[in-house]
């Protein structure tokens, strides 16, 4: 009888010991997993200009826009400080009063205005460029209020399936960079491509200028805007689908990334910098008025 009790006691002791060992290993595994996660956390590059903006501010300055710009897409600021924007459906350009969001003037591409899926706008050397989702570029000069201006069209090899969304002038290469939201090509299934359109040759380079590896950013990152930073020459790229902003170097290296608050940015579409390097991000209204969020540059 005593032998039986001792055997039962020994068995229970062994079972408890095994449970303790298993718990200890599981605890180490979880601790190690947490430690690895911490070690793999993204560390911004020391040269990053994105760190100069308080993107975590829950209530940044913003400009509420008029109903006509409910679906604002791209925006650009000229060297004189004038703010221009466009919306998706037609070739109408709006000059916006930065102090109150009112429209100072509008002018259009032709009369009636060109109908197309316009996605972004930028300005250089006295000329505006507007981009459609199939990669077509429109070149024109500023018009007077209600004026219909003439324009040039440049076709590219891009298609609607590429869904070209972002446009930025790059002074280093005298080219327009085009960021794709859609298909980037057979060789870039796990990346998003940025192509380059030469303003000297008026043609698209068939090879991407940059490829953004989604594994380095996040699983869902569909660019909606791109702009060259005036200080560093790096590029800021935003994504409405993914609510993220990233910064890449001139050679495409990921320098920094930051999630955009969904409460502050309902649908971020366009990006621009003013003469003081302040960051402007346009947002569609999604049921309300469109608006522009402003992040001051911290020197």
Rounded to whole angstroms, the Cα distance separating 102 from 92 reads: 15
Instruction: Domain 49-295: give its CATH code.
Output: 2.120.10.30
Tell whether the model's pLDDT for residue 279 goes beyond 90. yes
**Can you give the pTM of this predicted structure?**
0.86
Q: Which pLDDT band holds residue 12 (cuts at 50, 70, 90)?
A: low
Domain spans of the chain, in order of start: 1-39, 49-295
Strands 72-77 and 83-87: antiparallel
Helix ranges (H only) for the chain are 2-39
Rounded to whole angstroms, the Cα distance separating 156 from 75 reads: 22
Q: Which residues contact 176 (CB under 8 A, 6 or more apart)?
A: 122, 129, 131, 137, 167, 168, 169, 170, 196, 197, 199
The string of pLDDT tens digits covering residues 207-232 is: 999 999 999 998 889 999 999 999 99
Rounded to whole angstroms, the Cα distance separating 299 from 285 reads: 31
Q: What is the pLDDT of residue 37?
A: 39
The string of pLDDT tens digits covering residues 133-179 is: 999 999 999 999 999 999 999 999 999 999 999 999 999 999 999 99
Q: What is the pLDDT of residue 184?
A: 84
């Amino acid at each position: 009888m005593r032998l039986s009790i001792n055997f039962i006691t020994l068995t229970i002791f062994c079972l408890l010991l095994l449970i303790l060992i298993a718990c200890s290993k599981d605890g180490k595994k979880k601790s190690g997993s947490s430690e690895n996660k911490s070690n793999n956390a993204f560390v911004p590059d020391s040269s990053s200009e994105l760190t100069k903006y308080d993107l975590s501010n829950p209530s940044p300055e913003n400009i509420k826009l008029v109903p006509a710009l409910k679906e604002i897409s791209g925006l650009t600021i000229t060297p004189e400080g004038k703010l221009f924007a466009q919306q998706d459906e037609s070739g109408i350009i709006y000059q916006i009063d930065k102090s109150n969001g009112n429209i100072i003037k509008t002018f259009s591409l032709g009369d009636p205005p060109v109908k197309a899926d316009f996605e972004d706008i930028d300005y250089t050397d006295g000329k505006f460029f507007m981009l459609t989702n199939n990669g077509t570029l429109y070149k024109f000069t500023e018009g007077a209020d209600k004026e219909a201006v003439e324009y040039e069209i440049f076709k590219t090899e891009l298609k609607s399936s590429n869904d070209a969304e972002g446009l930025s002038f790059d002074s280093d290469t005298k080219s327009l960079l085009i960021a794709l939201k859609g298909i980037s090509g057979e060789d870039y299934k796990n990346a998003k491509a940025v192509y380059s359109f030469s303003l000297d040759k008026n043609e698209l380079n068939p090879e991407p200028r940059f490829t953004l590896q989604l594994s380095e950013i996040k699983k869902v990152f569909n660019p909606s805007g791109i702009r060259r930073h005036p200080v560093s020459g790096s590029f800021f790229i935003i994504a409405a689908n993914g609510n993220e902003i990233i910064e890449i170097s001139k050679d495409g290296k990921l320098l920094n990334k930051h999630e955009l608050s969904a409460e502050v940015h309902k649908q971020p579409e366009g990006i621009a910098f003013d003469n003081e390097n302040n960051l402007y991000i346009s947002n569609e209204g999604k049921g309300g008025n469109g608006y522009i969020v402003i992040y001051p540059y911290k020197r």
